[in-house]
Amino acid sequence: MLGLKLQVASSLLLLGALVAQAKYIVPGARWRDTDGELVNAHAGNVVLDNSTSKFWLFGEYKVQGQVEGGGVSVYSSDDLATWTFHGLALEPIEGHRYISPSSIIQRPKVIYSEAAGQYHMWWHADNSSYGLLLQGLATSDKIEGPYSFVDATSPLGNWSQDFGMFTDYKDGRTYALYSNGDRAEGRDVYLTSYNEEVTALDEVVHRFDKYDLEAPTILQTEKSYYALMSHKTGYRPNNVVAFRADSLSGPWSQPWIVSPLNTRTFSSQSGFTLRIDGSVKTTYLYLGDQWDSNSLWESRYIWLPIAIDDDKKTLAVEWHDVYDLDVKTGEYKTVEGKEYLATDAITNGNAFKQEANFATGGVIATGIEGNDSTVTFSGIEGTGKPQWVSFYYQNTDDMGYGDQPGGSPDRIGGSWQLRRISSVVVNGNVENVETLYQRDTHKGIILSTPLQLTLEEGVNNTITVGGLFNGFTYKGADIDKLVVYPPEA
């Protein structure tokens, strides 16, 4: 009896381990922590910590009504997909000169300082008008904090805005990366070495001169260094670029765009790259932010594998709707889903199918608006368990609404609505309406965005997509197809 119990217990443990393994990474989804809350750690870094054998995620903590100055949050994980919240690693202090709730506390990065025997957190420290342009330092004996504020300083007398950190895995040396602001005297990105303790900057190793880029990060392969940075469009996404060099001091190559053109890096901004030194292969992840400037606290994460060919000197960020990463071996695989094309869907009200030579089935469902002009996909196979469903869509930046607030971004004085919102209803159950945020793409550019849905077991499910108000319009984006993925183990 006892033996049986033990056996059950150990197979449960095994099952637990397997389930943990099979948790997928789903870029652009609403990521939930182990308490069911949104993962709230923006523009930070991930550290694999030796003393705890866990991954630790640090980032800007944002809640509705307090999107800056919220401090730095910290989460831990064994698989980079399941995250446990440990509260604030750096707490704002009322009335503090540099870390008050009205300060800018952005792009935090944590590393372990071997020489100091402590964890060091550095970040972009500023006042609310970005008038100080400093780098903050806080330290802790424990990785999860609490971190104590040490100082905020200007790097070798320069300005410092978007902040990044990089440690060379070959010699252990740590570097700061920072854009030095938008003034004409700035517009550079600096790469500067730290002293041994990582308590102060040492010397400038390279200056990415007048490229006017920000959100910098560096990754290192056996032969190369690649520096990734974004253009400067605030919280709106643009085409992230990379540079390559044999040595950190250069010469650095010309920059190139790292993702398919006009996807604006899959609607994300660079910020960090993580090297996973697996037992089978080394994998590099792009850890980008999908800022939502209409509600910053809802911003999401675009984490994707990076394809590098060191002989050809190329690097590209690869899109995957859903992928399965084994952090021990470094291997990852694309999860295969089942496609349902707009060609086979039924449109209702004013929604209709329109010829689109770039769409998967040659037509796209358009005119989706409110709850009467909808598109319904039927015959969808489900399992009765939560499953990821990717909605492939085109959002042409409110084409035809140029005279309204928003306007087209490809128009003089134009700006964006940033995202449309669609309603998603499974099997006609209007009691349970899911909200699908569809970021602006571009004319003829299809991107995908996921929702986790529970379909009934069998092949008779329907999914209906309508339009919800995004602050400007009730229109939903045009739909190309749905892809339904198998449940996580």
Binding site for ligand GLA (CB under 6 A): 43, 106-107, 162, 214-215, 234-235, 269
Name which of 215 and 274 has its Cβ closer to ligand GLA: 215
Contact of 250 with 268, CB cutoff 8 Å: no
Spatial CA neighbour of 125 closest among 97, 145, 144: 97
Q: How far apart are the first and last CA of the chain?
A: 29
Min. distance of Cβ 112 from ligand GLA in angstroms? 24
Antiparallel, parallel or unpaired: β 300-309 and 314-317:
antiparallel
The CB-nearest residue to ligand GLA is: 234
Name which of 234 and 362 has its Cβ closer to ligand GLA: 234
Contact of 121 with 108, CB cutoff 8 Å: yes
Name which of 191 and 215 has its Cβ closer to ligand GLA: 215
Name which of 113 and 295 has its Cβ closer to ligand GLA: 295
Cα–Cα distances in angstroms (integers) from residue 212 to residues 160, 230, 233, 376, in the given order: 13, 9, 11, 45
Query: What is the Cβ-side half-sphere exposure of residue 474, based on CA atoms within 13 angstroms?
Result: 9
Min. distance of Cβ 215 from ligand GLA in angstroms? 4
Min. distance of Cβ 132 from ligand GLA in angstroms? 13
Contact of 366 with 354, CB cutoff 8 Å: yes
Min. distance of Cβ 393 from ligand GLA in angstroms? 24
Min. distance of Cβ 303 from ligand GLA in angstroms? 17
**CB atoms near residue 50 (< 10 Å):** 9
d(CA 83, CA 387): 19
Amino acid at 179: S
Min. distance of Cβ 232 from ligand GLA in angstroms? 7
**DSSP per position, 457-475:** SEEEEEEEEEEE--SS--B
Min. distance of Cβ 301 from ligand GLA in angstroms? 14
Name which of 235 and 256 has its Cβ closer to ligand GLA: 235
Contact of 417 with 461, CB cutoff 8 Å: no
Name which of 59 and 305 has its Cβ closer to ligand GLA: 59
Spatial CA neighbour of 458 closest among 346, 376, 379: 379
Q: How many residues does this entry show for the chain?
A: 489
Min. distance of Cβ 271 from ligand GLA in angstroms? 8
Name which of 129 and 254 has its Cβ closer to ligand GLA: 129
**DSSP per position, 352-410:** EEEE-TTSTTSEEEE--BTTTB-EEEEEEEE-SSEEEEEEEEE--SSTT-TTSSS--TT
State whether residue 151 is helix, strand or coil.
Answer: strand
Name which of 106 and 438 has its Cβ closer to ligand GLA: 106
Min. distance of Cβ 43 from ligand GLA in angstroms? 6
Min. distance of Cβ 117 from ligand GLA in angstroms? 30
User: Which H/E stretch holds residue 434?
Assistant: strand 434-439
Q: Is the sign of the CA dihedral 136, 141, 144, 147 positive or negative?
A: negative
Name which of 108 and 382 has its Cβ closer to ligand GLA: 108
Name which of 69 and 370 has its Cβ closer to ligand GLA: 69
